[in-house]
Amino acid sequence: MVRGYKIATLGSHTALQILKGAKDEGFKTIAICKEGTEEPYKSFGVADEIILVKSFKEVPKLEKELIKRKAVLIPHGSFIAHMGIDEVMNLKVPYFGNKKILEWESDRAMERKWLKAAGLKLPKIFKKASEIDRSVIVKFHGALGGKGYFIANSPRDFRRKIKGHEKDTYQIQEYIIGVPMYIHYFYSPITDELEILGFDKRYESNVDSLGRISARDQFALESIDPSYVVVGNVPVVLRESLLPEAFRMGRNVVEESKKIAPPGLFGPFCLETVVTPNQEFYVFEISARIVAGTNPYIQGSPYSQLKYKEPMSTGRRIAREIKTAIQKKKTNLIFH
Ligand code: AMP
Ligand code: AMP
Protein backbone atom coordinates (compact mmCIF):
# COMPACT_ATOMS: atom_id res chain seq x y z
CA MET A 1 0.00 0.00 0.00
CA VAL A 2 2.86 2.40 0.76
CA ARG A 3 4.86 1.00 -2.20
CA GLY A 4 8.15 0.49 -0.35
CA TYR A 5 8.49 4.12 0.79
CA LYS A 6 10.16 4.57 4.17
CA ILE A 7 9.78 7.47 6.56
CA ALA A 8 13.04 8.90 7.87
CA THR A 9 13.86 11.71 10.26
CA LEU A 10 16.54 12.95 12.64
CA GLY A 11 16.38 11.44 16.13
CA SER A 12 15.33 14.51 18.17
CA HIS A 13 12.49 17.06 18.58
CA THR A 14 9.34 15.20 17.30
CA ALA A 15 10.93 12.05 15.89
CA LEU A 16 9.11 9.72 18.28
CA GLN A 17 5.64 10.76 17.11
CA ILE A 18 6.71 11.08 13.45
CA LEU A 19 8.09 7.53 13.40
CA LYS A 20 5.26 6.06 15.50
CA GLY A 21 2.71 7.77 13.25
CA ALA A 22 4.48 6.41 10.16
CA LYS A 23 4.39 2.86 11.54
CA ASP A 24 0.69 3.23 12.36
CA GLU A 25 0.13 4.11 8.70
CA GLY A 26 2.09 1.06 7.51
CA PHE A 27 5.50 2.57 6.65
CA LYS A 28 8.90 1.22 7.61
CA THR A 29 10.91 3.83 9.51
CA ILE A 30 14.48 5.09 9.78
CA ALA A 31 15.86 7.21 12.65
CA ILE A 32 19.12 9.07 12.01
CA CYS A 33 20.65 9.51 15.46
CA LYS A 34 23.70 11.18 16.87
CA GLU A 35 25.90 8.58 18.51
CA GLY A 36 24.92 8.22 22.13
CA THR A 37 21.35 9.54 21.68
CA GLU A 38 19.74 6.45 20.11
CA GLU A 39 18.33 4.93 23.32
CA PRO A 40 14.81 6.46 23.14
CA TYR A 41 14.36 5.37 19.51
CA LYS A 42 15.33 1.81 20.43
CA SER A 43 13.48 1.69 23.71
CA PHE A 44 10.16 2.99 22.38
CA GLY A 45 10.38 0.69 19.36
CA VAL A 46 9.54 3.34 16.77
CA ALA A 47 12.51 2.82 14.42
CA ASP A 48 12.88 -0.17 12.10
CA GLU A 49 16.40 1.00 11.39
CA ILE A 50 18.76 3.35 13.19
CA ILE A 51 21.58 5.07 11.30
CA LEU A 52 24.24 6.53 13.60
CA VAL A 53 26.17 9.70 12.77
CA LYS A 54 28.72 11.72 14.72
CA SER A 55 26.91 14.96 13.90
CA PHE A 56 23.75 15.88 11.96
CA LYS A 57 26.03 17.82 9.63
CA GLU A 58 26.90 14.39 8.13
CA VAL A 59 23.33 13.82 6.91
CA PRO A 60 23.95 15.08 3.33
CA LYS A 61 26.57 12.31 3.02
CA LEU A 62 23.84 9.73 3.65
CA GLU A 63 21.80 10.93 0.69
CA LYS A 64 22.60 8.10 -1.68
CA GLU A 65 21.81 5.50 0.97
CA LEU A 66 18.51 7.19 1.82
CA ILE A 67 17.46 7.50 -1.82
CA LYS A 68 18.31 3.82 -2.36
CA ARG A 69 16.08 2.91 0.59
CA LYS A 70 13.21 5.01 -0.88
CA ALA A 71 13.22 7.24 2.18
CA VAL A 72 11.09 10.36 2.57
CA LEU A 73 12.59 12.88 5.02
CA ILE A 74 10.24 14.57 7.48
CA PRO A 75 11.73 17.89 8.63
CA HIS A 76 11.36 19.19 12.18
CA GLY A 77 12.97 21.82 14.42
CA SER A 78 16.32 20.08 14.63
CA PHE A 79 16.94 20.16 10.85
CA ILE A 80 17.76 23.85 10.45
CA ALA A 81 19.06 24.15 14.02
CA HIS A 82 21.65 21.37 13.65
CA MET A 83 22.23 20.97 9.88
CA GLY A 84 21.96 24.55 8.61
CA ILE A 85 19.57 26.05 6.07
CA ASP A 86 21.83 25.61 3.00
CA GLU A 87 22.38 21.92 3.73
CA VAL A 88 18.62 21.39 4.10
CA MET A 89 17.87 23.34 0.90
CA ASN A 90 20.35 21.21 -1.06
CA LEU A 91 19.06 17.81 0.10
CA LYS A 92 18.01 15.62 -2.82
CA VAL A 93 16.15 13.02 -0.80
CA PRO A 94 12.35 13.42 -1.16
CA TYR A 95 11.42 15.96 1.52
CA PHE A 96 7.95 16.55 2.95
CA GLY A 97 7.50 20.30 2.71
CA ASN A 98 8.00 23.34 0.50
CA LYS A 99 11.66 24.33 0.85
CA LYS A 100 11.02 27.76 -0.66
CA ILE A 101 9.07 28.61 2.48
CA LEU A 102 12.19 28.03 4.61
CA GLU A 103 13.66 31.22 3.25
CA TRP A 104 10.57 33.19 4.33
CA GLU A 105 10.48 31.55 7.71
CA SER A 106 14.14 31.97 8.60
CA ASP A 107 14.44 35.66 7.68
CA ARG A 108 12.65 37.79 10.26
CA ALA A 109 11.94 40.65 7.84
CA MET A 110 10.49 38.32 5.19
CA GLU A 111 8.46 36.47 7.83
CA ARG A 112 6.89 39.74 8.98
CA LYS A 113 6.08 40.72 5.42
CA TRP A 114 4.31 37.39 4.88
CA LEU A 115 2.33 37.52 8.14
CA LYS A 116 1.39 41.18 7.65
CA ALA A 117 0.19 40.51 4.11
CA ALA A 118 -1.94 37.71 5.60
CA GLY A 119 -3.66 40.35 7.73
CA LEU A 120 -2.35 39.15 11.11
CA LYS A 121 -1.60 41.40 14.09
CA LEU A 122 2.10 41.49 14.94
CA PRO A 123 4.00 43.05 17.85
CA LYS A 124 5.61 46.33 16.84
CA ILE A 125 9.36 46.18 16.12
CA PHE A 126 11.60 48.98 17.35
CA LYS A 127 14.52 49.63 15.01
CA LYS A 128 16.27 51.96 17.43
CA ALA A 129 16.44 51.71 21.20
CA SER A 130 15.80 55.46 21.44
CA GLU A 131 12.27 54.83 20.08
CA ILE A 132 11.24 52.54 22.95
CA ASP A 133 8.01 54.03 24.35
CA ARG A 134 6.42 50.97 25.99
CA SER A 135 7.41 47.59 27.40
CA VAL A 136 9.58 45.61 24.99
CA ILE A 137 11.10 42.15 24.93
CA VAL A 138 14.65 42.01 23.60
CA LYS A 139 15.37 38.73 21.83
CA PHE A 140 18.80 37.43 20.94
CA HIS A 141 19.33 35.21 17.91
CA GLY A 142 21.69 32.40 17.05
CA ALA A 143 23.70 30.69 19.71
CA LEU A 144 22.05 32.55 22.56
CA GLY A 145 18.65 31.03 21.69
CA GLY A 146 16.07 31.87 24.36
CA LYS A 147 18.83 32.89 26.77
CA GLY A 148 19.47 36.43 27.84
CA TYR A 149 16.09 37.81 26.69
CA PHE A 150 15.04 40.74 28.80
CA ILE A 151 12.15 43.11 29.24
CA ALA A 152 12.82 46.85 29.14
CA ASN A 153 10.48 49.80 29.37
CA SER A 154 12.55 52.79 28.29
CA PRO A 155 15.67 53.58 26.24
CA ARG A 156 17.58 54.04 29.51
CA ASP A 157 16.43 50.71 30.92
CA PHE A 158 17.40 49.06 27.61
CA ARG A 159 20.91 50.55 27.60
CA ARG A 160 21.49 49.34 31.16
CA LYS A 161 20.36 45.78 30.39
CA ILE A 162 22.05 45.35 27.00
CA LYS A 163 25.50 45.96 28.56
CA GLY A 164 27.94 43.26 27.48
CA HIS A 165 25.68 42.14 24.61
CA GLU A 166 25.80 45.20 22.35
CA LYS A 167 27.54 43.18 19.62
CA ASP A 168 25.07 40.28 19.57
CA THR A 169 22.20 40.30 17.09
CA TYR A 170 18.86 40.97 18.69
CA GLN A 171 15.39 42.28 17.98
CA ILE A 172 13.46 44.76 20.09
CA GLN A 173 9.82 43.69 20.05
CA GLU A 174 6.80 45.24 21.71
CA TYR A 175 5.98 43.11 24.77
CA ILE A 176 2.39 41.91 24.46
CA ILE A 177 0.65 41.37 27.78
CA GLY A 178 -1.41 38.24 27.50
CA VAL A 179 -1.04 34.47 27.46
CA PRO A 180 1.03 32.48 24.99
CA MET A 181 -0.91 30.16 22.69
CA TYR A 182 0.74 27.98 20.05
CA ILE A 183 -1.67 26.84 17.33
CA HIS A 184 -0.97 23.56 15.53
CA TYR A 185 -2.30 23.47 11.98
CA PHE A 186 -2.20 20.99 9.13
CA TYR A 187 -2.96 21.98 5.55
CA SER A 188 -3.52 19.37 2.86
CA PRO A 189 -2.71 20.46 -0.70
CA ILE A 190 -4.50 17.31 -1.91
CA THR A 191 -7.90 18.22 -0.45
CA ASP A 192 -7.33 21.97 0.20
CA GLU A 193 -8.46 21.40 3.77
CA LEU A 194 -7.04 23.29 6.77
CA GLU A 195 -7.20 21.42 10.08
CA ILE A 196 -6.45 22.50 13.62
CA LEU A 197 -4.86 19.59 15.45
CA GLY A 198 -4.18 21.21 18.81
CA PHE A 199 -2.70 23.94 20.99
CA ASP A 200 0.08 24.11 23.54
CA LYS A 201 2.03 26.47 25.68
CA ARG A 202 5.70 26.09 26.50
CA TYR A 203 7.40 25.31 29.76
CA GLU A 204 10.43 27.57 29.80
CA SER A 205 13.40 27.75 32.12
CA ASN A 206 13.74 29.83 34.17
CA VAL A 207 10.85 32.19 33.43
CA ASP A 208 8.17 29.64 34.34
CA SER A 209 9.56 29.27 37.83
CA LEU A 210 10.22 32.90 38.72
CA GLY A 211 6.63 33.20 39.90
CA ARG A 212 7.32 30.57 42.55
CA ILE A 213 9.53 33.03 44.38
CA SER A 214 7.88 35.81 46.34
CA ALA A 215 8.34 39.38 45.10
CA ARG A 216 10.54 40.08 48.12
CA ASP A 217 12.89 37.26 47.18
CA GLN A 218 12.85 38.25 43.52
CA PHE A 219 14.19 41.63 44.56
CA ALA A 220 16.78 39.93 46.72
CA LEU A 221 17.90 37.85 43.73
CA GLU A 222 18.55 40.95 41.67
CA SER A 223 21.07 39.14 39.52
CA ILE A 224 18.54 36.63 38.15
CA ASP A 225 17.68 37.39 34.54
CA PRO A 226 14.70 35.64 33.02
CA SER A 227 15.48 33.18 30.23
CA TYR A 228 13.08 31.41 27.86
CA VAL A 229 14.86 28.12 27.25
CA VAL A 230 12.21 25.57 26.36
CA VAL A 231 12.32 22.31 28.29
CA GLY A 232 8.81 20.99 27.71
CA ASN A 233 5.29 21.67 26.46
CA VAL A 234 1.93 21.79 28.17
CA PRO A 235 -1.35 20.96 26.38
CA VAL A 236 -4.00 23.67 26.20
CA VAL A 237 -7.51 23.90 24.80
CA LEU A 238 -8.68 27.20 23.35
CA ARG A 239 -11.79 29.07 24.44
CA GLU A 240 -14.22 27.82 21.80
CA SER A 241 -15.41 31.22 20.63
CA LEU A 242 -11.79 32.00 19.62
CA LEU A 243 -11.64 29.02 17.25
CA PRO A 244 -13.12 30.82 14.21
CA GLU A 245 -10.33 33.42 14.43
CA ALA A 246 -7.70 30.68 14.77
CA PHE A 247 -9.02 29.07 11.56
CA ARG A 248 -9.18 32.42 9.78
CA MET A 249 -5.56 33.23 10.61
CA GLY A 250 -4.33 29.81 9.46
CA ARG A 251 -6.26 30.01 6.20
CA ASN A 252 -4.93 33.52 5.45
CA VAL A 253 -1.36 32.41 6.07
CA VAL A 254 -1.76 29.47 3.68
CA GLU A 255 -3.38 31.59 0.95
CA GLU A 256 -0.68 34.26 1.22
CA SER A 257 2.06 31.59 1.06
CA LYS A 258 0.70 30.43 -2.30
CA LYS A 259 1.41 33.92 -3.66
CA ILE A 260 4.87 34.42 -2.15
CA ALA A 261 6.30 30.89 -2.53
CA PRO A 262 4.20 28.75 -4.89
CA PRO A 263 2.83 26.12 -4.42
CA GLY A 264 2.72 27.46 -0.86
CA LEU A 265 2.91 26.17 2.67
CA PHE A 266 1.54 22.68 3.29
CA GLY A 267 1.62 19.99 5.95
CA PRO A 268 2.01 20.99 9.61
CA PHE A 269 2.74 24.54 10.72
CA CYS A 270 2.30 26.62 13.85
CA LEU A 271 1.40 30.20 14.66
CA GLU A 272 3.06 31.33 17.86
CA THR A 273 0.81 33.89 19.47
CA VAL A 274 0.05 35.88 22.58
CA VAL A 275 -3.67 36.36 23.28
CA THR A 276 -4.57 39.64 25.02
CA PRO A 277 -7.42 40.28 27.49
CA ASN A 278 -9.28 41.82 24.49
CA GLN A 279 -9.12 38.36 22.92
CA GLU A 280 -6.81 39.48 20.14
CA PHE A 281 -4.09 37.20 18.80
CA TYR A 282 -0.68 38.79 18.30
CA VAL A 283 1.54 36.52 16.21
CA PHE A 284 5.22 36.74 17.10
CA GLU A 285 6.45 33.85 14.95
CA ILE A 286 5.49 31.14 12.47
CA SER A 287 7.03 27.67 12.29
CA ALA A 288 6.49 26.19 8.85
CA ARG A 289 6.82 22.59 10.02
CA ILE A 290 5.84 20.27 12.85
CA VAL A 291 6.40 21.87 16.28
CA ALA A 292 7.36 20.04 19.47
CA GLY A 293 4.22 21.36 21.13
CA THR A 294 2.37 18.58 19.31
CA ASN A 295 4.28 15.97 21.36
CA PRO A 296 1.69 15.71 24.17
CA TYR A 297 -0.82 14.50 21.57
CA ILE A 298 0.63 11.21 20.36
CA GLN A 299 -2.74 9.64 21.18
CA GLY A 300 -4.50 12.55 19.49
CA SER A 301 -5.76 15.87 20.88
CA PRO A 302 -9.30 16.88 21.81
CA TYR A 303 -9.53 18.38 18.32
CA SER A 304 -8.15 15.42 16.37
CA GLN A 305 -10.54 13.22 18.37
CA LEU A 306 -13.46 15.22 17.01
CA LYS A 307 -12.36 14.58 13.46
CA TYR A 308 -10.71 11.16 13.39
CA LYS A 309 -11.89 7.78 14.58
CA GLU A 310 -8.35 6.72 15.52
CA PRO A 311 -5.57 8.43 17.50
CA MET A 312 -4.21 11.07 15.11
CA SER A 313 -1.00 12.83 16.11
CA THR A 314 0.52 15.44 13.82
CA GLY A 315 3.23 12.86 13.03
CA ARG A 316 0.62 10.34 11.96
CA ARG A 317 -1.26 13.00 9.98
CA ILE A 318 1.92 13.60 7.96
CA ALA A 319 2.22 9.88 7.20
CA ARG A 320 -1.48 9.76 6.27
CA GLU A 321 -0.96 12.60 3.80
CA ILE A 322 2.02 10.83 2.24
CA LYS A 323 0.04 7.59 1.99
CA THR A 324 -2.89 9.38 0.35
CA ALA A 325 -0.54 11.06 -2.12
CA ILE A 326 1.07 7.72 -3.01
CA GLN A 327 -2.33 6.10 -3.52
CA LYS A 328 -3.69 8.99 -5.60
CA LYS A 329 -0.39 9.31 -7.53
CA LYS A 330 0.00 12.88 -6.32
CA THR A 331 3.42 12.71 -4.64
CA ASN A 332 4.51 15.61 -6.86
CA LEU A 333 2.30 17.81 -4.66
CA ILE A 334 4.11 16.95 -1.44
CA PHE A 335 7.69 15.79 -2.14
CA HIS A 336 10.09 18.67 -2.72
P1 AMP B 1 16.85 20.12 19.72
O2 AMP B 1 16.87 19.04 18.68
O3 AMP B 1 16.18 19.72 21.00
O4 AMP B 1 18.21 20.70 19.93
O5 AMP B 1 15.93 21.29 19.18
C6 AMP B 1 16.03 21.85 17.93
C7 AMP B 1 15.20 23.12 17.87
O8 AMP B 1 13.84 22.88 18.22
C9 AMP B 1 15.68 24.20 18.83
O10 AMP B 1 15.58 25.43 18.14
C11 AMP B 1 14.73 24.14 19.99
O12 AMP B 1 14.57 25.41 20.60
C13 AMP B 1 13.43 23.65 19.34
N14 AMP B 1 12.71 22.79 20.29
C15 AMP B 1 13.15 21.60 20.74
N16 AMP B 1 12.28 21.06 21.59
C17 AMP B 1 11.27 21.94 21.71
C18 AMP B 1 10.06 21.96 22.48
N19 AMP B 1 9.75 20.94 23.29
N20 AMP B 1 9.21 22.99 22.31
C21 AMP B 1 9.54 23.99 21.49
N22 AMP B 1 10.67 24.05 20.76
C23 AMP B 1 11.53 23.05 20.86
P1 AMP C 1 10.57 33.08 21.27
O2 AMP C 1 12.01 32.75 21.52
O3 AMP C 1 10.36 34.09 20.18
O4 AMP C 1 9.79 31.81 21.02
O5 AMP C 1 9.97 33.69 22.61
C6 AMP C 1 10.13 33.07 23.88
C7 AMP C 1 8.93 33.36 24.78
O8 AMP C 1 8.74 34.74 25.01
C9 AMP C 1 7.63 32.82 24.21
O10 AMP C 1 7.31 31.61 24.79
C11 AMP C 1 6.59 33.85 24.55
O12 AMP C 1 5.86 33.44 25.68
C13 AMP C 1 7.37 35.08 24.94
N14 AMP C 1 7.23 36.11 23.92
C15 AMP C 1 7.85 36.17 22.74
N16 AMP C 1 7.53 37.29 22.06
C17 AMP C 1 6.69 37.98 22.85
C18 AMP C 1 6.03 39.25 22.73
N19 AMP C 1 6.20 40.02 21.66
N20 AMP C 1 5.25 39.63 23.75
C21 AMP C 1 5.09 38.87 24.85
N22 AMP C 1 5.70 37.69 25.03
C23 AMP C 1 6.49 37.24 24.05
Secondary structure (H, E, C), 24-76: HCCCEEEEEEECCCCHHHHHCCCCCEEEEECCHHHHHHHHHHHHHCCEEECCC
Beta strands in 100-135 (DSSP E): 125-126
Pocket test residue of 14, 208, 230, 233 for ligand 1, highest count of atoms within 8 A of CB = 230
Q: Is the pLDDT of residue 145 over 70?
A: no
Q: Cα–Cα distance between 238 and 220 in angstroms, integer?
A: 37
Note whether 167 and 267 are same-domain residues: no
Q: Classify residue 240: in a domain, yes or no.
A: yes
Note whether 109 and 227 are same-domain residues: yes
Closest ligand 1 atom to residue 146 Cα is 12
- The pLDDT of residue 176 is 97
Tell me which residue has its CA closest to atom 16 in ligand 2: 284
- The pLDDT of residue 268 is 98
- The pLDDT of residue 36 is 98
Q: Is the pLDDT of residue 142 over 70?
A: no
- The pLDDT of residue 1 is 74
Ligand 2 center to 222 CA (angstroms) = 22
Note whether 262 and 219 are same-domain residues: yes
Mean pLDDT of the region 209-226: 83
Q: Please work out whether the CB of residue 78 comes within 6 Å of at least one atom of ligand 1.
A: yes
Q: Is the pLDDT of residue 143 over 70?
A: no
Count up the domains in the chain and report the number: 3
Q: Is the pLDDT of residue 233 over 70?
A: yes
Q: What is the CATH number of the domain that holds 302?
A: 3.30.470.20
Note whether 12 and 115 are same-domain residues: no
Q: Cα–Cα distance between 24 and 16 in angstroms, integer?
A: 12
Domain span including residue 51: 6-95
Q: What is the CATH number of the domain that holds 70?
A: 3.40.50.20
Ligand 1 center to 314 CA (angstroms) = 16
Q: Are strands 71-73 and 125-126 parallel, antiparallel or unpaired?
A: unpaired
- The pLDDT of residue 144 is 62
User: pTM for the complete prediction?
Assistant: 0.95
Q: Classify residue 334: in a domain, yes or no.
A: no
Q: Cα–Cα distance between 311 and 88 in angstroms, integer?
A: 31
Q: Is the pLDDT of residue 148 over 70?
A: yes
Note whether 200 and 297 are same-domain residues: yes
* CA 7 to centroid of chain Cα atoms: 19
Asked if 316 contacts 293 with a C-beta cutoff of 8 angstroms, the reply is no
Q: What is the pLDDT of residues 270-319, one digit of tens each?
A: 999 999 999 999 999 999 999 999 999 999 999 999 999 999 999 999 99
One-character DSSP codes across 257-313: HHHHSTT---EEEEEEEEE-TT--EEEEEEESS--GGGGGGTT--HHHHHH-SS---
Ligand 2 center to 287 CA (angstroms) = 14
- The pLDDT of residue 323 is 97
CA 138, 85, 258, 322 dihedral sign is negative
- The pLDDT of residue 305 is 98
Ligand 2 center to 273 CA (angstroms) = 8
Q: Classify residue 305: in a domain, yes or no.
A: yes
Note whether 114 and 235 are same-domain residues: yes
Note whether 213 and 252 are same-domain residues: yes
Kindly report the number of other CB atoms within 10 A of residue 306's CB atom.
9
- The pLDDT of residue 227 is 85
Q: Which of 23-32, 75-84, 214-223 has the lowest mean pLDDT?
A: 214-223
- The pLDDT of residue 169 is 86
In the chain, count H helices and then E strands: 13, 13
Q: Classify residue 76: in a domain, yes or no.
A: yes
- The pLDDT of residue 43 is 98
Q: Are strands 28-34 and 49-53 parallel, antiparallel or unpaired?
A: parallel
